[in-house]
A and B are shown apart, each in its own frame.
Chain A
Amino acid sequence: MTSSTSLKPLAMILPGLALAILIIGYPIYDLGYASLHEVSRFGQLRDFNGFNNFRDVFEDPLFYGSLIRTLIWTFAVVGGTLALSLPIAMMLNEEFYGRGLARVIIMLPWSISLTMTAVVWRWALNGRAGLFNATLMDLGILKEPIEWLGEANQAFTVEILIGILVSIPFTTTIFLGGLSALPQDTYEAAAVDGATRWKQFRHITLPLMKPFINIAVVLNVIYVFNSLPIIWVMTEGGPANGTDILVTYLYKLAFRFGQLGKASAISLIMFGVLLIFTIIYVLLVMRGEAGAEAEE
């Protein structure tokens, strides 16, 4: 009996697991192998060279710049997305006229690929031919067209904002799922007790939403950290590498400069950074949850 119950679930996860190990596991192995070898311009493995590729990475000032910008990019996009998505989800969870339409609109950015979104925004933000400046000028907000992507900090800010915009639908969906699962009677009881809306939010909504916020944080961090299209299409990491994050730098190293060994090393470092983040986060969350259970 025990053996059959433990075999059955294993048989159920096995086919999927096999595919994942093949498609995702093998390339990781391949990458690890390549990172310890000299790799020719065209990806042919040459001699084993120990940690030379890693040393190259750590001696490269552009790597550190990209690393710092990656952290800013991830933190800003995920933070901004969470801060906006929770109130949006709470509004969309309530009844109001046109809610269906509002939901459709808020979800829309999800239906375009990031590549296409970035292409359209690049065109719209074009200093003189773009409609963004033209609209702001028509409205009297701007007098002169602004070159939004001309200077690194400004371009990076714009890219972060667009990053937030495209992350909202996914995050809002997760939150909507969470909100609709909240027990209504708790709120009714709280309302009878005279709790203000803020108090209800602080003491009922937020704690109950915690698991959903957690999953939103983890998944968003992973997606945003690895996201290439927005920055690549809009500025290619420029001007003067001022908007380069690790993935764009990796892409350039691998496919423009042909430094595949060094690129493999960066891939693994990125993987390591995410792994550490996830472990820390999972530990913190679990400890938090264990604590909460203990309190109850």
Chain B
Amino acid sequence: MFHRKVATFAASALALGLLAGSAFAATTVNFTVAEYSSKTGPFYKEVAADFEKANPDIKINIEVVPWDSLLQRLTTDIAGGTPPDISIIGTRWLLDFASQGVAEPIDSYLTPEFKGAFIDTFMKPGIIKGKTMGLPVAASARAMVINTDLYEKAGVKPPKTWEELYQASQKIAKLPDTFGFGLQGKEIETDAYFYYALWTYGGDILRADGKSGLDSPEALAAVSLYKKMIDEGLTQPSPTNYSREDVFNLFKQGKVGTIFTFPMLIPQIKAEAPNLHYAVLPFPVEKTEATYGVTDTLMLFSSSKVKKAAWKFIEFTYQDKYRKQFDLGEGFLPVTKNIAALDYFKTDKDIAGFAAGLPYAKFAPVIANWEEIADTTVRALQQIYLGQVSPADGLKAAAKKINEIRGL
């Protein structure tokens, strides 16, 4: 009896194996990959193929999702009961995932050796209430990029303070058909463009007591400077119609003196505007140095039934050769020590310019409802830029709303 059962089982398993070919493999790991560029998908598929060759019993199923719909995709996946086993997520969402029990703490999987491969700064945002909820997978820091030709033409030096930036922009804006300062005012990361100033003015997104820092004098000073530059025609007209991409395009056209950006812009400039001369510099400083560090996280789902296999794959992807290919290909800053030690990140002065800010990088606070708070900030900024409210009133109202959202 028993034997017969086994035999039937074996036969049917064999039949299944014959039918499905490689699906004979016992486990399938579903991995949702955020699409940074057209290289992302092919890169991870290549890694997965290598992995499957080394581990024929595990199959990696990769789903590439555009960034803009990633959160929606994961939301519907989780709601529908079909979450993946691993996903790349924005670190700013991690708290929501962790507090809802969606993310699996990974401390028990992390060997000291593997943990030691990461740069501590980037591990920190993934630690919630003492538990490591994810691994940094991509990192970037922001910096100021100037068009050195325009600066030369206007006869001004690269700015070190906001006052110098203001004066330089005045001179550059006087050049024909040119703008001094490219200001983003539309869609994703409009708030980040303001945080750069907020932080270097000595302010912060949240105060020490957890309340919004938008109604602080530092925030007011920072936004007032932006508003003054808009009003005096030092920025491009109608910043509220310029998304991140639009501001960068303006820069590639050589029409704007200064912008704030991320490392991924550099390969674009080289490809699309090879004759443009530029320099990557730290943000202007009023009180302190600061930059915006952004990380994305590789998260393991608590609902996964194949955590071991998934973790094996995760470790596999962090091999130096893959990390190097990924970071260099996408233009990210390294999250692991070995890659950071590569000459490239020191000798390439563009990348070095961005990496320079890492020691004093600030991260978006890991708090619940971050997207809604960011949206509230963006709305206030747009109202101020458009002149619908005064800077003081706009910030005060936004701070009040954010405190409400935070339940404070």
Chain A residues in the interface with B (C-beta under 8 A) = 40-44, 126-129, 147-152, 155, 235-236, 238-241, 252, 254-260
Contact = CB atoms under 8 A, between A and B. Distances in A.
Contact of A150 (B75, B78, B238, B371): B238
Contacts of B76: 43
A239 B386 contact: yes
Given A239-B240, A241-B379, A255 B71 contact: yes
Contacts of A127: 236-238, 241-242, 246
B240 A238 contact: yes
Contact of A40 (B100, B369, B388): B100
| Interface of chain A, main secondary structure | loop
Interface of B: 71-72, 74-76, 78-80, 96, 100, 102, 185-187, 236-242, 246, 249-250, 253, 255, 369, 371-372, 375, 378-379, 382-383, 385-386, 388
B78 A256 contact: no
B102 A150 contact: no
A272 B372 CA distance: 27
B303 to A, nearest CB: 11
B375 A150 contact: no
B75 A240 contact: no
Contacts of B96: 41, 258
Those 10 A-B pairs whose CB atoms lie nearest each other, nearest first: A43-B79, A150-B238, A150-B241, A147-B238, A255-B72, A42-B78, A239-B240, A240-B382, A239-B382, A147-B241
Contact of B253 (A44, A128, A240): A128
A260 B186 contact: no
B379 A150 contact: no
Contact of A128 (B75, B187, B250): B250
Contacts of B240: 150-151, 238-240
Contacts of B388: 240
A147 B237 contact: yes
A40 to B, nearest CB: 6
B206 to A, nearest CB: 18
Given A151-B238, A239-B240, A252 B100 contact: no
Given A126-B246, A258-B96, A240 B238 contact: no
A289 to B, nearest CB: 44
11 contacts: A42-B79, A42-B102, A43-B80, A127-B246, A149-B186, A150-B240, A151-B240, A238-B382, A254-B72, A255-B75, A258-B96
Given A42-B100, A42-B102, A238-B187, A260 B237 contact: no
A236 to B, nearest CB: 6
Contacts of A258: 71, 75, 96, 371
Nearest to B383: A240
A44 B302 CA distance: 15
B97 to A, nearest CB: 8
B238 A43 contact: no
B78 A238 contact: no
B interface SS class: helix
B237 A240 contact: no
B244 to A, nearest CB: 13
A257 B371 contact: yes
Most interface-central of B71, B102, B187, B238 (chain A CB within 10 A)? B238
Nearest to B102: A42
Contacts of B378: 238
A240 B375 contact: no
A252 B102 CA distance: 21
A235 B249 CA distance: 18
B185 A239 contact: yes
B187 A236 contact: yes
B76 to A, nearest CB: 7
A41 B255 CA distance: 43
Given A127-B246, A254-B75, 6 more contacts: A43-B75, A148-B241, A236-B187, A252-B375, A255-B72, A257-B375
A43 B80 CA distance: 8
A128 B242 CA distance: 10
A43 B375 contact: no
Contacts of A42: 74-75, 78-79, 100, 102
A41 B382 CA distance: 27
A43 B73 CA distance: 12
A256 B96 CA distance: 12
Most buried by B among A256, A258, A259, A260: A258
B79 A256 contact: no
Nearest to B384: A240
A256 B71 contact: yes
Contact of A257 (B241, B372, B383): B372
A257 B72 CA distance: 10
Contacts of A259: 372
A271 B59 CA distance: 44
Contact of B241 (A149, A240, A254): A149
Contacts of B372: 256-257, 259
A128 B78 CA distance: 42
Contacts of A254: 72, 75
Given A148-B241, A238-B382, A240-B379, A41 B100 contact: yes
B170 to A, nearest CB: 20
B62 to A, nearest CB: 22
A44 B78 contact: yes
Contact of B386 (A148, A151, A256): A151
Given A128-B255, A129-B249, A252-B375, A44 B386 contact: no
Contacts of B246: 126-127, 129
A129 B71 CA distance: 30
A269 to B, nearest CB: 20
Given A42-B100, A151-B240, A257 B255 contact: no
A259 to B, nearest CB: 8
B190 to A, nearest CB: 9
A263 B385 CA distance: 29
B186 A238 contact: yes
A256 B71 CA distance: 7
A43 B236 CA distance: 42
B55 to A, nearest CB: 30
Interface centre among B102, B187, B237, B241 (most CB of A within 10 A): B241
Nearest to A259: B372
A150 to B, nearest CB: 3
